Amino acid sequence: MTGSEQLVDELNKSRCICYYPSSGTDLSNLDFFGSGRKLWAERTGEALAGAEITVSAADPDPDLFIHTDVNFYQEFAAGRDFEPDDCGMHGRFEVLDFRELQTIKDPNRISDNYEFSGKCFAYKLRLWDSPKVRTLIYCLCENEALVADILLAHKIRVPFVWSRNWNGGQTYGTWLVNVLQQLQTIKVYTDWLCVPGRRGEPRNRAVEAKYPELMVQAQVELVRNNDLHWIDQGAHGWVEEFDVRSF
């Protein structure tokens, strides 16, 4: 079994995936969902619990979080030695299990491939003392590589996308909106910097050249939920909730 095949097998075990491109060490999406979707001020104790967030049957609870970034090998190779305070976590955080998956060989088409490129780390986590055990898989690869070669190529459904302060590096983040319909995404949690399609539509020349399958015409738009503001905030900005609507 290759590294890609093993990763696909792991993803297919999940009921509901939340994907975070260019995540660095930030685990704010795990903090949000693990807390029962409390708003940032409630999680940090700066405000009393407000009105509960209504979760419909169409909004399942993620059991698997997959993060990608081309860097941060040392932090995640450390395994159980996570510092939750450095990762945007405000509630109790416990690593129940850690293992390294097989490496995906030379996953990057745009960025350089380093010795650690393609490594994948899998964690079993308990968050906020919840009885639910969540899985985090962290892959050291381009966002585009995971989406094109794993998620789209194997028709893996991704109900939630979480992305904050993603400047897009060499490629911008506008390409992501092109494939939300194929990923069957229902909600995107993001900030004004990385709302796909909201940055003047700069040309993603590197993506056009290396990942043409990501440059299809977008079939959806993101509609902001005006009832929920500042779901997450901190040194890297904030995220708000957007519904994915077909044209």
Instruction: Encode 117-133: b = buried (16+ Cβ within 10 Å), e = exposed.
Output: bbbbbbbebbbbebeee
Q: How far is CA 204 from CA 22, 124, 155, 193, 215, in A?
A: 16, 36, 24, 16, 9
Q: Report d(CA 141, CA 120) in Å as an integer.
A: 9
Amino acid identity for residue 243 in this structure: D
For 216-240, what is each residue's pLDDT tens digit?
988 998 999 988 888 887 655 789 9
Which helix (H) or strand (E) segment is 3 a member of?
helix 3-12
Residue extents of the structural domains in the chain: 3-246
What is the percent of the chain with per-residue pLDDT over 70, rounded to a whole number?
88
- pLDDT tens for each residue of 187-201: 999 887 667 655 556
Question: If you average pLDDT over every residue of the chain, what do you get?
Answer: 89
Separation between Cα atoms, residue 136 and residue 143, nearest integer Å: 16
> Domain 3-246: which CATH class?
alpha beta
CA 13 – CA 5 distance, rounded (Å): 13
Listed in sequence order, the residues at least 6 apart from 38 whose beta carbon sits closer than 8 Å to its beta carbon are: 32, 49
Report residue 81's pLDDT band, with 50, 70 and 90 as the boundaries: confident
DSSP-derived secondary structure letter, 112 = P
- How confident is residue 145, by pLDDT bands cut at 50, 70 and 90? very high
Question: 234 is written with which tokens?
Answer: 């901190």
Q: What is the pTM of this model?
A: 0.93
Q: How many residues does the chain have?
A: 247
Residue 108 contacts residue 2 (beta carbons within 8 Å): no
CA angle 176, 170, 67 (to 5 degrees): 50
